[in-house]
Amino acid sequence: MFELHASKAANLKNDVLSGLTVALALVPEAVAFAFVAGVEPLVGLYAAFMVGLITSIFGGRPGMISGATGAMAVVMVSLVAIHGVEYLFATVVLTGVLQIMAGLFKLGKFIRLVPHPVMLGFVNGLAIVIFLAQLGQFKVVNDAGVMEWMQGNQLYTMAGLIVLTMAIIHFLPKLTKAVPSSLVAIVVVTILVQSLDLDARTVVDFVRDMTNDPAASIAGGLPQFSIPSVPFNFETFQVILPFALVLAAIGLIESLLTLTLIDELTGTRGRGNKECIAQGAANTVTGFFGGMGGCAMIGQSMINVNSGGRGRASGITAALALLGFILFASGLIEQIPLAALVGVMFIVVIGTFEWSSFRILGKVPKADAFVIILVSGVTVATDLAIAVVVGVIVSALVFAWEHAKHVVVHRSMNEKGSTVYDVSGPLFFGSVSSFLEQFDMDNDSDDVIVEFKNSRVADHSAIEAIDTLAERYISRGKQMHLRHLSKECTQLLTKAGSLVEINVIEDPDYHIATDKLA
C-alpha cells in the first residue's frame, strides 16, 4: 500500500540523510521510554546516542538502529522505583556483560529456531504496538493537570498535518528519490506550522507534558563517565542479577528478530553473534555514562531502511545527529510538530504490518494460523520477548504432537525365524507411548530385532523407552537386538551406560551381524 522503494545497496548520501531522519524521530521516543522507566529525559537520550553509535560501528547488521526501547523500559521501572537510578546503571552494565557472553558462546544462532508464523505474529503485533503508542500524542494536559484527548480545532489540525505528512512520504518518491521523503515531510510540515502559527503540539510540548515541568528541555551536555554509586557486594549482585537477565534476554530477542526482518527487507544477511557482542558492549558503556541501555528499535530501523539507509553511516549519523541536537540544536528540534513524527510512524506501521497474513490465515494449517494470532495478541498485551517465547513453545508443542503420530512399527519374520520390527519416524518424548504400544511381545519369537534404519533416537525419553522394551522382552525370556542405529544414536546410547540394557547389532556394511553390549 504505502511502500517506499529504496536501493538495496549502501550509499553515503542516502545513509546520512536517512540517519538524520531517524534522529528526528528518536527524540520523542527516547524521552517517552525514559518516562516509562522513571528516569530523566536525558538518561533516555544518552542511551539512544551511545547504544546507537556503538552498535552502528561494531554491530552485525548495518542499517539497523538501536537505542532506548519500551520493552526494556517496562522492566526497569520497578528497579528504579525501589532502588534508584544508580542501581539501574549497574544493572545495565551487567546486562551488557551477559549479552557479550551470549555472543561469545554463539547463542545468536538460536534465532533460527523462531518459526515463520511466530515472525509474522511478532511483526504484526509490533505494528499494532507502534500504532497504539502514537495515540498518546493525541492527548494534552488540561487545566487540572490531567491528560485528556484533543478536541476541536487542535484535533483537526493534528489530523490534517498527519495526513499531509503521510501524503508527502507516499507521493514524493514518485517524483524524486534524491532525498528521503520522510525527512522532506518533517521539514515541510515544520515550516508550515511555524509560518502559519498553527496550534500544533511540538516536541517541547511533549517533553514538558512527560516531565510535568514547564521549563523542561532536551538540551544538555556530553555524557560523563561515572561508576554506578552502589555497594559492591553480593547483596547488590542479588538485586541486579534478575533484572539484568531479563533485560539481556529481551534485548537480544528483540535485536535478533529485528536483524532477521532487516535481512529479509534488504536481501542481505547480518551476523547475529557479532550483534550480540556489540549490543552488550554498548550497554556496558552506556551504564558507565548515565544511560538506561537499549537494544534494536524496529520502528526506527524501518524508517532508516525505507529512507534508503543501508550502511553503518546511517546509524552513526543518527547517533551523532541526536547528540548534536542535545548539545547545540535543542531549540530547533523542540519546534518540530509531533504530527509530522506521528505521520512518519503511521507509515512505518502500514509498511511493517504483514497484510498478506489475512489472506493466508485460511490457507495455512490451523495451528500456524493460531500461532500468528496468539503471538500478535501477546505482543500487544505484554511485550515482544514474552510473545516470541510463547510462540516458539506453542509451535514446538504442535510440532511434537504432530510428529508423535508419525512413528510406525512394521512387524515381520526373517529367514532365521527372528521377529523383525521396522521403525519409521523419530523416537522422542512425544512418540514413545505410540512406539511401545506397537510391539506384540507375547507372540514374538525368542529373538527380536528392532530395525532403526528409518528412524533415529532423539532424547532421553527415547532411551528409556528402548530400555523398557528390552526389560519386557527379558522378563519373557527373549533377547532383543537393535540394528542400523545412526552414528549419533549409537553415541547417545553408549553415553547412557548403565541407564539402558540392550544389544546393538552393528551392520553398517551388511556383513555378518555380531552383538555388542552397549
Main-chain phi, psi angles of 514, to 5 degrees: -130, 155
> What are the structural domain ranges in the chain?
12-113+201-353, 405-517
Confidence of residue 497 (pLDDT cuts 50, 70, 90): low
Task: Provide the phi-psi class of 165: left if phi over 0, else alpha when psi is between -120 and 50, else beta.
Answer: alpha
CA–CA gap between residue 3 and residue 171 (Å, rounded): 10
Please, are residues 31 and 218 in contact by the beta-carbon 8 Å criterion?
yes
Work out the angle at residue 177's Cα, subtended by the Cα atoms of residues 263 and 194, and round it to the nearest 5 degrees. 110
> What's at 99, amino acid-wise?
Q
Q: What is the mean pLDDT of residues 485-510?
A: 56
Q: What is the mean pLDDT of residues 40-57?
A: 95
CA–CA gap between residue 185 and residue 206 (Å, rounded): 20
The predicted-structure confidence for 478-491, as pLDDT tens digits, reads as follows 888 888 876 666 66
Main-chain phi, psi angles of 215, to 5 degrees: -110, 10
Confidence of residue 517 (pLDDT cuts 50, 70, 90): very low
DSSP three-state, residue 66: strand
pTM listed for this prediction: 0.76
Please, are residues 170 and 354 in contact by the beta-carbon 8 Å criterion?
no
Lowest pLDDT segment from 133-147, 244-258, 365-379, 389-403: 133-147
Q: What is the mean pLDDT of residues 218-229?
A: 93
Q: What's the first-to-final CA gap in the chain, in angstroms?
A: 63
What is the pLDDT at residue 8?
A: 54
pLDDT above 60 (res 222): yes
DSSP strands (E only) in 260-396: 295-296
Cell of 202: 511540538
Cell of 137: 500524542
Please, are residues 461 and 428 in contact by the beta-carbon 8 Å criterion?
yes
Characterize the bridge pairing of strands 419-427 and 408-413.
Answer: antiparallel
> What's at 407, amino acid-wise?
V
The predicted-structure confidence for 426-480, as pLDDT tens digits, reads as follows 888 888 998 999 999 999 999 999 998 888 888 888 888 888 888 888 888 888 8
CA dist list (Å): 378 to 386, 391, 482: 7, 9, 46
**Quick count: other Cβ atoms within 10 Å of Cβ 462?**
23
DSSP strands (E only) in 139-288: 139-141, 147-149
How much of the chain is helix, strand and coil, in % rounded to 5? Answer: 65, 10, 25
Collect all residues with Cβ–Cβ distance below 8 Å to 402 and sequence separation of at least 6. 367
Collect all residues with Cβ–Cβ distance below 8 Å to 199 and sequence separation of at least 6. 153, 154, 157
Collect all residues with Cβ–Cβ distance below 8 Å to 501 and sequence separation of at least 6. 467, 470, 471, 474, 518
CA dist list (Å): 58 to 62, 167, 266, 464: 9, 36, 19, 47
DSSP strands (E only) in 379-446: 408-413, 419-427
- What is the pLDDT of the chain when averaged over all its residues? 87
Q: What is the mean pLDDT of residues 328-333?
A: 90
Please, are residues 376 and 128 in contact by the beta-carbon 8 Å criterion?
yes
Q: Which residue has the higher pLDDT, 459 or 48?
A: 48
CA–CA gap between residue 275 and residue 254 (Å, rounded): 12
Q: What is the mean pLDDT of residues 349-359?
A: 87
Query: What strand order describes the sheet that includes 408-413?
Result: 408-413, 419-427, 447-457, 479-483, 503-506, 514-517
Q: Which residue has the higher pLDDT, 87 or 306?
A: 87
The predicted-structure confidence for 254-287, as pLDDT tens digits, reads as follows 899 899 889 988 888 889 999 999 999 999 999 9
What is the pLDDT at residue 464?
A: 86
Confidence of residue 318 (pLDDT cuts 50, 70, 90): very high
Q: What is the mean pLDDT of residues 163-172?
A: 94
CA–CA gap between residue 324 and residue 219 (Å, rounded): 10
Domain 405-517 has CATH 1.10.10.10: no
Confidence of residue 515 (pLDDT cuts 50, 70, 90): very low
DSSP three-state, residue 232: coil
pLDDT above 50 (res 513): no
pLDDT over 90 percentage in the chain? 47
Confidence of residue 505 (pLDDT cuts 50, 70, 90): low
